[in-house]
Amino acid sequence: MSTIALALAGGGPLGGIYEIGACAALSDSLRGRELEQADIFVGVSAGAVVASALANGISPAKLARILLSNDTGEFFDPSTLLRPAFGEYLGRIGSIPHLLLGALFDYLKSPWKRSLFESLQVLSKAIPTGLFDSRGVDRILTEFFSRAGRSNDFRELTSRLFVIATELDTGRAIAFGSRGHDDVPISAAVQASAALPGLFPPSRIKGHHYVDGALIRTLHASVALHHGADLVICINPLVPYDAAQAKRNECGSTNLVDCGLPVVLAQTFRAIIHSRMQVGMDRYKLQYPHADVVLFEPSRADGEMFFTNVFSYRDRSRLCEHAYQHTRADLLRRADELAPVLARHGLHLDLTSLQDTERSLLTPSSSAVDSLDRALERLRDSLQRRCSQPVNGEHDQD
């Protein structure tokens, strides 16, 4: 039987939402194996959040309901990631008097060798390393994985899970979940993997500081291939935007420069990570000729993906559904190309499902599924409590 892996790239909250919708489409359309039962999961940054949930056996459909409604009792709001890093601010502000005195002493010691400006450059150490507090990721996931049937321990999972982060002091990519790095809580590893420099302070684990795993590579699918994957299904949510191909531009201009600095920076970042990913995909073919690597990503003309406001509930819901429908359409369009690849690994496409134009990720009937999920969880909790209670009279026996 083939070893099947799922590799999810980063992309911030926007990318995570897209990946959930895309995973739901794959789960609906692939037959032969449930997506959450893959043998290996690799996650980077936001992709690590999704991968860790899937590795815990949570289906993509349930992840979508958790993200977009509170019917499951596990609602997640991406705006919780925008809480200021007050601890970081206060720590840096507190260092200013010491740094200032040191700079003045350094200048007065040899004023003819250096300018006052040069001496004062040491004050750059007082600049915060991140704007927002990423500890919420660890806190939320710790609670999420503490529920019955889930685990925050890499070693207790049925599937292999690898969460990629970059060690700040060496610039090396570290795969949490691999030997020697599997004793770290999954939630802490995900927090480290998602610590995008400038936005979040580096995450400290066992005396080392880590930042976003996407700094070295975009997908890190090679981790799955190195651990014996025969088929790697990759999802990359961020692609450069082609305004010339787009039918509609949210900015109102065909020139992205007219949209301002945030859009220019977003396009630049996407172009860099996408070109780097393409180089990696070509390298996989040479290094792992026995394996198949299949990539799913948005269209370059996808203005909805590029301009979505991820912190708007309405936009999150629309984006998740958009990713679901786009991936289904992509699967149907590439059906002839994908069929022999999937067949080599015991999988096939459900063409009837893909051709169903009425199919939707978020349907009114989902409330019934949510109610069943809640009832089953309450039943499981009740049974566990009963099993943990001593049987009547057992303490009276010799």
- Token readout for 33 is 């194996």
Residue 394 pLDDT level (bands cut at 50, 70, 90):
very low
State the Cα–Cα distance between residues 133 and 366, nearest whole angstrom. 33
- Token readout for 227 is 């651990």
Q: Considering only 5-14, 319-328, 383-392, which range has the smallest mean pLDDT?
A: 383-392
Average pLDDT over residues 333-345: 97
Question: pLDDT tens for residues 204-213?
Answer: 999 999 999 9
Helix (H) or strand (E) holding 205: strand 203-205
Give the 3-state secondary structure of 286-352: HHCCCCEEEEECCCCCCHHHHHCCCCCHHHHHHHHHHHHHHHHHHHHHCHHHHHHHHHCCCCEECHH
Residue 309 pLDDT level (bands cut at 50, 70, 90):
low
Look up residue 16 and give its amino acid: G
Average pLDDT over residues 375-398: 62
The 3-state DSSP class for residue 94 equals helix
Give the residues across from 232 on adjacent strands.
5, 293
Residue 90, C-beta contacts closer than 8 angstroms, at least 6 positions apart: none
Question: Is the separation of the CB atoms in 37 and 147 below 8 Å?
Answer: no
Question: pLDDT at residue 368 above 80?
Answer: no
pLDDT score of 395: 45
Question: Is the separation of the CB atoms in 355 and 332 below 8 Å?
Answer: yes
Average pLDDT over residues 157-170: 97
Q: Considering only 113-127, 235-249, 299-313, which range has the smallest mean pLDDT?
A: 299-313
pLDDT score of 187: 96
Average pLDDT over residues 59-66: 90
Question: pLDDT tens for residues 97-155?
Answer: 988 888 888 878 877 777 877 777 888 888 888 888 888 888 889 999 999 999 999 99
Question: pLDDT at residue 364 above 50?
Answer: no
Cα angle 274, 279, 280 (rounded to 5 degrees) comes to 95
pLDDT score of 396: 44
Average pLDDT over residues 1-21: 93
pLDDT score of 344: 97
Domain boundaries, the chain: 4-80+132-355, 86-126, 366-390
Average pLDDT over residues 286-308: 91
Upper half-sphere CA count for residue 373 (Cβ side, 13 Å): 17
Look up residue 228 and give its amino acid: G
Question: pLDDT at residue 397 above 50?
Answer: no
pLDDT score of 77: 64
pLDDT score of 311: 55
pLDDT score of 250: 66
Question: pLDDT at residue 72 above 60?
Answer: no
pLDDT score of 271: 93
Upper half-sphere CA count for residue 246 (Cβ side, 13 Å): 22
State the Cα–Cα distance between residues 271 and 242, nearest whole angstrom. 11
Question: Is the separation of the CB atoms in 269 and 329 below 8 Å?
Answer: no
Q: What average pLDDT does the structure give for the chain? A: 87
What percentage of the chain exceeds 70 in pLDDT? Answer: 87
Q: What backbone phi and psi angles, to 5 degrees, belong to 204? A: -100, 125
Average pLDDT over residues 170-197: 96
Alpha-carbon distances, residue 174 vs 7, 160, 163, 214 (angstroms): 15, 15, 8, 11
Q: Kindly state the greatest CA–CA separation across the chain.
A: 90
What end-to-end distance do the CA atoms of the chain give, in Å? 52
Question: pLDDT at residue 234 above 50?
Answer: yes
Question: pLDDT at residue 71 above 70?
Answer: no
Instruction: Give me the CATH code for the 4-80+132-355 domain, please.
Output: 3.40.1090.10
pTM of the prediction?
0.84
Q: Considering only 66-70, 91-95, 192-196, 341-345, which range has the smallest mean pLDDT?
A: 66-70
pLDDT score of 230: 98
Question: Is the separation of the CB atoms in 42 and 162 below 8 Å?
Answer: yes
